[in-house]
Structure 1
Amino acid sequence: MSIVLFLAGVIFVAVGIAASIALHEVGHLVPAKLFKVRVTQYMIGFGPTIFSRRKGETEYGVKALPLGGYVSMVGMFPPGKNDDGEGSVRQSSTGMFQQLAADARQAAAEQLQPGDEDRVFYKLSIWKRIVIMLGGPVMNLIIGIVMFAVLIMGFGSAQATTTVSDVSRCVIPVSQQEETGQTDCAPGDPTAPAYEAGLQPGDRIVGFDGREVTSWEQLSAWIRDTAGQEVPISYIRDGETITATIEPLLTERPIPDVDGRAKLNEDGTPVMQEVGFVGVGPQSELVPQPASEVMPAVGDSLVRVTGVVLNLPQRVAQVAEAAFSDAPRDPNGPISVVGVGRIAGEVSAMEEIPFEARAATLVGLVGGVNLALFVFNLIPLLPLDGGHVAGALWEGLRRTVARVFRKPDPGPFDMAKLLPLTYVMVVLLMGMGALLIYADIVKPVNLFG
């Protein structure tokens, strides 16, 4: 059964990512057709064509390598200029890079048919070209928002309850854990107050120090503030209310942030404080949240993804070090679709976790992948969508400067000149993808201990 569940999780995420890629290309296709650009192909994947069908002037199909997709539009590159300044395809070049650009222009010119003169991409206004190129990433953003809305409003977010999940037998100071690596109780370690008071997993705490307990955050704050004081605690077990006395132990613990995570110092270590501690952990349950919580959650995810993208060379280097050494893999670093599929399979196969929680995690994975695709495609380098947007903005800037200073219109920016850089980027992206896949096979990210 676990294998079936594992495969089900992998298939769910694979289909979700494939649909996301298809919709990304739809984001380019629809505005291109609205702006009357002739679209010759809409393809999912690369390499040999497995299936295709022509509808009107566009061929729609699926290719063998599921590594992305593309929409082919006529006139992506403007014609070059000969010595007399007239637009034409250059017949000669002075070097390999110039020849690459000339060949690309020649291939673009060969796509043209009678009547395409005003249907080429490079003749569109700047804003129309930007809309077409941003259509794909924006589609990923929309998918991500929808997935997060389903996750947060439908399934809900995990919230700590007042029901006990685990009870520690002893208290091990954090400093002692860091110095010795100790995780199990040893002779001489003080008994955890909750264990001494008789609390067990499944008990629901309803009272503390004579006050009604309504949330785990409230209870935690009271425990932190009553170190060294004997206070009554009430909990329900099997329908019976039990009252005991508990004395929170003063010990050094991480200070939680507003989101429940530990606050960190500048060096990345947790901020510690001596507070009351009893040694219990809460059970969590999914609680649907209002629509107002969706966009803040999307924003937080975008900030984290942007941080990874901005430090991508360093992060990829860390992945390479981990893949070829004994160094640990950073769970917050980049992963490939193989890694995402593996995580999806592991989550799906965890039968001890409620089905609702597993389904929510899979939906969150698909949403997170789409937000990552949105940010990654905005990188202002070809062949990414952000590179085309940058080229259009540069052209607009050049033409604006020319108008201001009453100089001749410089004409469309020749993106073909950037093909050498594009090929370098393609090689780097393929190498990064291969490295991440290899790392996800030999040293996968471990999110579950």
Structure 2
Amino acid sequence: MGSYLLGVVLFALGIAATIALHELGHMSAARMFGMRVRRYFVGFGPTVFSWRKGHTEYGFKAVPLGGFCDIAGMTNQDEVTAEEAPFAMRNKPWWQRIIVLLGGIIMNILLALGLIYSVAVGYGLPNPNVDLTATVGETGCVAQKQVDAQTLSPCEGEGPAAQAGVAPGDKIYSVNGQATPTFQDVATEVRQHPGETVTLEIERDGQRMEVPVAVESVQRLNAEGQSVTVGAIGVSSAPFKDVILEYGPVDGIGATFAFTGQMLGATMQGLAAFPAKIPGVAASIFGAQRDQESPMSVVGASRVGGELAQRDSWPMFVMLLANLNLFLALFNLVPLPPLDGGHIAVVLYEVIRDRIRKLRGLAPAGPANYTKLMPLTYTVAMLLLGVGALVIVADVVNPVKLFG
């Protein structure tokens, strides 16, 4: 329990640090271009404590679920004093404003790169080219019943696969013509044919052949713990080779960038699937099974961090934090206010609009009127708050569990 709580606390602190550094990215870029930063806070709600240095107030607020960096004149609706005007963000060149808006996103990506690099040189990274072909490791007897989640009933003798001539080292490419790129695919397909004969397409010593196998009917427990009849043939998967590749300080750099690119691609797919997963999260609050790949809040992610720490899975702990940074980076690029991407979209709109006006012989129109965007901004903000609250509740009553 102690290591679990340590993991929860450490991951929560990691999230808080991620938020703080995201806002630091905005603040650092703003100061680089001579913009006035009024406030830099981690958290929302009532102020716990704060201090002032120069023109900036720093502090922490009671709810550590976010943060903000208040830059003078960020929008046209932000009133600035005569003294602040020369340092107002809206009075700076458009490209400087975009860099400032990208500052937090860039910081998240840099953090992810640093975390992934530390895993690359300290432990190793997953091999993207590992051979996942379904390969038989052992053949054996088939247990007739499943006692619990970890235990099968005793059995002896040869199972259907061994009796049919399937041997260790055979690669299984299909079952009844259905492609099975992984061993899990083989198991899934065989389970659907209890008491039937299936044809395995296997490769042995470079030669392809078809092997008919009589599938046994056995009892196994489903996800709800109910006993169901499925098929089994008595084969187990061979361990994968070179799953983790170790790197030195130099070759780890290239590996880090390559792996980060893969993670960004997977994160983009996850972000695109995000809205479709919300109904499942809501259903899990009322007892439905929680999808392990469903969205998690700070609460859920910290609990997963605790599970990883409890099992000394520190590389996975660090990679989870890196993945969080990549998700925040891409999520903030969504072109909707109040996200960074929404503000960037407004700046780009101003640039395009003013260039069109220039072609028409007109003067620049100045900063966009954010008043017209307020309904959209409030709607998006309320949706984010609502979804955030929903996911937090789900993480409390039916959390994602990596290890059952």
TM-score under structure 1 normalisation? 0.68
Cα deviation for residue 145 of structure 1 reads 1.1
- Give, in whole Å, the separation in 1 of the partners of 2:277 and 2:23: 28
Cα deviation for residue 316 of structure 1 reads 1.2
- Give, in whole Å, the separation in 2 of the partners of 1:26 and 1:432: 26
Partner of 1:392: 347
Partner of 1:303: 265
Secondary structure at the aligned position of 2:38 is classed as strand
Q: Does the CA contact (< 8 Å) of 1:145 and 1:295 recur in 2?
A: yes
- 1:345-393 deviation per Cα after TM superposition (whole angstroms, max 9, x unaligned): 112112xxxx4xx111111111111011111111111111111101100
Partner of 2:366: 411
- Give, in whole Å, the separation in 2 of the partners of 1:339 and 1:192: 43
Partner of 2:201: 274
Partner of 1:425: 380
Match of 1:317 among 243, 259, 279: 279
Q: Does the CA contact (< 8 Å) of 1:308 and 1:334 recur in 2?
A: no
In the superposition, relative to structure 1, how do residues 418 and 342 fare at CA in structure 2: closer, same or farther (>3 Å)? Answer: same
Secondary structure at the aligned position of 1:411 is classed as coil
Cα deviation for residue 436 of structure 1 reads 0.7
- Give, in whole Å, the separation in 1 of the partners of 2:318 and 2:120: 10
Residue 288 of structure 1 pairs with residue 262 of structure 2: no
Match of 2:47 among 36, 46, 49: 49
Secondary structure at the aligned position of 1:444 is classed as coil
- Give, in whole Å, the separation in 2 of the partners of 1:448 and 1:254: 26
Q: Does the CA contact (< 8 Å) of 2:176 and 2:200 recur in 1?
A: no
- Give, in whole Å, the separation in 2 of the partners of 1:250 and 1:308: 32
Partner of 1:118: 86
- Give, in whole Å, the separation in 2 of the partners of 1:255 and 1:422: 46
Cα deviation for residue 286 of structure 1 reads 5.0
Residue 128 of structure 1 pairs with residue 86 of structure 2: no
Residue 36 of structure 1 pairs with residue 34 of structure 2: yes
Gaps of 5+ in 2: 132-136, 187-191, 193-198, 204-233
Residue 338 of structure 1 pairs with residue 299 of structure 2: yes
Partner of 1:441: 396
- Give, in whole Å, the separation in 2 of the partners of 1:273 and 1:434: 49
- Give, in whole Å, the separation in 2 of the partners of 1:262 and 1:337: 33
- 1:136-158 deviation per Cα after TM superposition (whole angstroms, max 9, x unaligned): 01100110111111122321135
Residue 157 of structure 1 pairs with residue 118 of structure 2: no
Cα deviation for residue 322 of structure 1 reads 2.9
- Give, in whole Å, the separation in 1 of the partners of 2:292 and 2:93: 44
Structure 1 segment 17-416 matched on structure 2, within 5 A: 17-78=15-76, 105=77, 108-109=78-79, 112-157=80-125, 169-170=140-141, 190-191=158-159, 222-224=169-171, 254-256=180-182, 274-275=201-202, 279-282=236-239, 286-289=244-247, 290-291=251-252, 292-326=254-288, 328-350=289-311, 355=312, 358-416=313-371
TM-score under structure 2 normalisation? 0.75
In the superposition, relative to structure 1, how do residues 168 and 432 fare at CA in structure 2: closer, same or farther (>3 Å)? Answer: farther
- Give, in whole Å, the separation in 2 of the partners of 1:171 and 1:306: 42
- Give, in whole Å, the separation in 2 of the partners of 1:252 and 1:300: 28
- Give, in whole Å, the separation in 1 of the partners of 2:177 and 2:353: 64
Cα deviation for residue 169 of structure 1 reads 3.6
Partner of 2:220: none
In the superposition, relative to structure 1, how do residues 368 and 194 fare at CA in structure 2: closer, same or farther (>3 Å)? Answer: farther
Q: Percent identity?
A: 35
- 1:287-341 deviation per Cα after TM superposition (whole angstroms, max 9, x unaligned): 4134232222212221222122223221212221233343x32222211111111
Q: Does the CA contact (< 8 Å) of 1:45 and 1:68 recur in 2?
A: yes
- Give, in whole Å, the separation in 2 of the partners of 1:378 and 1:61: 26
* One-letter amino acid matched to 1:413: A
Secondary structure at the aligned position of 2:239 is classed as strand
In the superposition, relative to structure 1, how do residues 262 and 25 fare at CA in structure 2: closer, same or farther (>3 Å)? Answer: farther
Secondary structure at the aligned position of 1:329 is classed as coil
- 1:204-258 deviation per Cα after TM superposition (whole angstroms, max 9, x unaligned): xxxxx9xxxxxxxxxx8x52289xxxxxxxxxxxxxxxxxxxxxx99988314xx
* One-letter amino acid matched to 2:90: Y
Aligned residues: 346
Q: Does the CA contact (< 8 Å) of 1:155 and 1:360 recur in 2?
A: yes
Cα deviation for residue 192 of structure 1 reads 7.7
Partner of 1:83: none
Secondary structure at the aligned position of 1:363 is classed as helix
In the superposition, relative to structure 1, how do residues 320 and 225 fare at CA in structure 2: closer, same or farther (>3 Å)? Answer: closer
Secondary structure at the aligned position of 2:46 is classed as strand
Q: What is the alpha-carbon root mean square deviation over aligned residues?
A: 3.8
- Give, in whole Å, the separation in 1 of the partners of 2:23 and 2:170: 54
Query: Which one is further off, 42-51 or 272-281?
Result: 272-281
Cα deviation for residue 185 of structure 1 reads 7.0
- Give, in whole Å, the separation in 1 of the partners of 2:158 and 2:381: 59
Query: Which one is further off, 282-291 or 134-143?
Result: 282-291
In the superposition, relative to structure 1, how do residues 443 and 27 fare at CA in structure 2: closer, same or farther (>3 Å)? Answer: same
Secondary structure at the aligned position of 1:118 is classed as helix
Structure with bigger gyration radius: 1
Secondary structure at the aligned position of 1:279 is classed as strand
- 1:166-199 deviation per Cα after TM superposition (whole angstroms, max 9, x unaligned): 9664369xxxx9xxxxx9579899538799xxxx
Cα deviation for residue 32 of structure 1 reads 0.8
- Give, in whole Å, the separation in 2 of the partners of 1:193 and 1:152: 40
Query: Which one is further off, 288-297 or 52-61?
Result: 288-297
Q: Does the CA contact (< 8 Å) of 2:140 and 2:235 recur in 1?
A: no
